[in-house]
Amino acid sequence: MRRIAICACLLLTTGATTLYAQQEGGNIVTYKDKFFIWPVIKQRALSFDIRPANQQSPLLQYKPNRPVSMGVGVYAFDVSFELAFAVPLAASQEELYGNTTSRDLQINLISRRFGADAMYQRYQGFYLSDSRIKIPGGQPFPQRADVRTSLQSVSGFYVFNHKRFSLRSAYTFADRQLTSAGSFLLAGTLSDFQLNADNAVVSQDQQQSIGLSRRFTELGYQTLSIAPGFSYNLVYRKFLFNVTASFGPANHWTHYRDLTGTEHYDIAVNSFADIRLALGYNSDHLFGGITYGGQSRRAKMNEMQFANVSTSVRVVIGYRFREFGVLKHSVWELVPILLKTAPPAATK
């Protein structure tokens, strides 16, 4: 089946993070007189896994067959936009892993001190990887076209060492960090995950392996977490490698519906993890790199552990140009200008 997917990403900066071409604190360079353009390749995914309550490795993994997206990004008026279109999958890929339809939107706000993410993901159609069963090469994986998931999430973080450390230099290239430095972070998240299926999510055989007393067709949980973390930029000349990790306890409000239609509710404390990696090159004009981001929310429900994992891989290479004309204004300066030049409303 032919399909076209559109993925848009919006990266915002606050008025306190206006770019200017000078060195701050001896370690951070920002660019006020430049606008940026870059091509981008990205892939985002929302998967989930199920395992027995006392087991570390997942028994069942449900993965989407998600295509790579390609597009372009622009940084102007202190606002960054990305628009990417999915590359159609080969027929052989759909035969092996099935067909996934998805809606995937993310909005990021990153300043020198603060950062925030808002995410909406909705997926239907997964293939199943069972750790007990080895699928021969070239043979299709078990597929569940009836399984639907959705994730709505808002998260944020605070950077303590914002005078010498720039997280933006690794992920949005709004800054350039000159020497190696790191910072402690404090992150928090609020999310809602929902899973629905027309039939039982696990088979009777899988139910016995996991040790479930009941199978289910619907499951969901809301998560509230505060997680301390640390981020470090290793800089060598104009190359940069970043590792960011936040771990912390999470409170989950869980529920599931069994095959009889009975609803089961519980409150559990488990874990939240946010891992980000970046490798890039950043000069005054040319920049580029590859980034990875993953958030995991794990909840224990009676006899099983359930986790949803949202991942993103992004490859960019771009160039900074000198601003001209209206591009010299930030979005915060444009608003009063547009209001001042707007024609007055007609009066009767």
**Which CATH number belongs to the domain containing residue 59 in this structure?**
2.40.128
E-strand ranges in the chain read: 6-12, 22-24, 28-30, 34-52, 60-63, 69-76, 79-86, 101-110, 114-130, 143-159, 175-177, 181-196, 216-236, 239-258, 263-282, 286-301, 304-322
pLDDT digits (tens, 9 = 90+) for 206-230: 888 787 888 899 999 999 999 999 9
Percent of the residues in the chain that have a pLDDT greater than 70, as a whole number? 88
Q: What is the rounded radius of gyration, in angstroms, for the C-alpha atoms of the chain?
A: 23
Tell me if 334 is assigned to some domain: no
pLDDT of residue 341: 63
Cβ atoms within 10 Å of 213's Cβ, excluding its own: 9
pLDDT of residue 95: 92
Q: What is the mean pLDDT of residues 53-65?
A: 85
Query: Is residue 2 very low, low, confident or very high in pLDDT (cuts 50, 70, 90)?
Result: very low
Tell me if 29 is assigned to some domain: no
Tell me if 322 is assigned to some domain: no
pLDDT at 1 exceeding the cut of 80? no
Tell me if 91 is assigned to some domain: no
Tell me if 326 is assigned to some domain: no
Tell me if 195 is assigned to some domain: yes
**DSSP conformational letter for 93:** H
- Number of folded domains in the chain? 1
Phi and psi dihedrals of 57, rounded to 5?
-90, 145
Tell me if 81 is assigned to some domain: no
Amino acid at 119: M
On whether the pTM is more than 0.85, the answer is: no
**DSSP conformational letter for 66:** P
List the one residue out of 147, 145, 141, 144 whose CA is nearest residue 129.
141
Structural domain range at position 259: 44-65+96-314
User: Poorest-confidence range of 38-47, 260-269, 280-289, 338-347?
Assistant: 338-347
CB 133 within 8 A of CB 59: no
Tell me if 118 is assigned to some domain: yes
